[in-house]
Structure 1
Amino acid sequence: MAWHSNYTSVTKVAATDDSSLVVKKKAANVFSELKGTSIFMIGLGISLKTDLGKLLADVLRYYYFDSDRLVEEALGGASAAKSVRESDENGFSESETEVLKQLSSMGRLVVCAGNGAVQSSTNLALLRHGISLLVDVPLEIVARDVIEYRGQFASFEVSTPGSYPGVGSHATNQLAALYSKHKDGYATTDAVISLQKVASRLGYDNLDGITKEDMALEALGEIEKLTRVKKMMAEVARPF
């Protein structure tokens, strides 16, 4: 019935509004403890990671940046960046480091960082200037995102040429290799924001039911824990 459909829609909107208010309230509590510390979002490129980063920036009143897009802009655009990556890998890596160096010197940022951020000890050290969060999502969901929305990957990382039988498994295989390549770097992050963990905590059987607000609450909770630990360590180190 039409009334039932309208009622369901209104209920979903109300639930989203309630979640948004809860996220904003949590962010307000975390904001003062952060003291302007920047947040770096790490992990395989997926629209959820981008949406989460933008939401955190909004509720924390921070500025949002995508480090890969900044590298592309610095090199003259996506095509030029791809060309540099293929012909001068060291030069490309230096550009990634320079962008991270500039971002890490600033405060009040939420940065969606590309995989270049975890490829060298220099870049990993730059992430230490802020709080790093690994957005952990099952590979099959990342693969679907890549196929449907092109994800946040550069063309040299994951390719999905056209649509053909087995394209899903093809993308998943590439993503598995990419994850394996960077897993040691991912392991250095300060906290993990796991889609599966959030689903389990909320009692969701379907991972698609998890919203960016759900993930934001998890992220803010982890950030709050990290800032508390940092504060406790500072107090312990204070001379008598």
Structure 2
Amino acid sequence: MINLHSLTLSCEYQPFVNPHDQSIDGYEALARFYLPNGQAVAPNLVFEQLHESSVALAAVEYQAKAFQLQHAPREQRLFINVDPHAVNGPYTEKLLTLLSGYQHITVEIIENTCISDADLANQLFRQFKEANINVALDDIGAPHSLLSVDLMLNVDFLKFDRYWLTLIEQHQGIQLLAALVEFAKRTGKQTILEGIETEAHLAFAKSIGVDFVQGFLFKPWFIRPSGTQALCLG
């Protein structure tokens, strides 16, 4: 069990890269947490524990987004992740107000693994679109995720999970990905392939026609703010 009260909060910005000319077209902001001795704590462990308290989860989610916006690279497209469970309540309007003040924001939402999560994601999508905030559907194709046709039809960006890179040698899997990329092009959406770690991955991304890529191949371009702040649990 992690002592959440002892943690400090920071973030990391990972670039979206054009696979053809390797120009940067924006960043995804990811939460980072540290113990008092400076040791990093895996974010998934922190959020798993936060899910035990809806109040603490909502408070930390809002604090993380405020920190990410404050330290974000200026004049760049910025993607942030939003957990539907964290804004299903009184923090929703507060978060919408915060995000609406940032010109180049896109919210990534995940449907997760059950119907109730998918319903929450669809509800959250409608609220962000009503606030004129772009929305990306994250983790498409991940083994644990569901896929909502409504979200696929209406979001602005499709983000494909790194799992697709395990299917490079499987004809049917690649044909499905190619069809989804073509669907995005025909409907005015942009596509991002996650998990790019090698030049072979990058070459595959070029061949499949995605708009942008993301991954540890571009780690030298990751950005981290110099400061941290104490974690507030509400």
- TM-based fold match above 0.5: no
TM-score by length of 2: 0.39
**Bigger CA radius of gyration:** 1
TM-score by length of 1: 0.38
More helix by share: 1
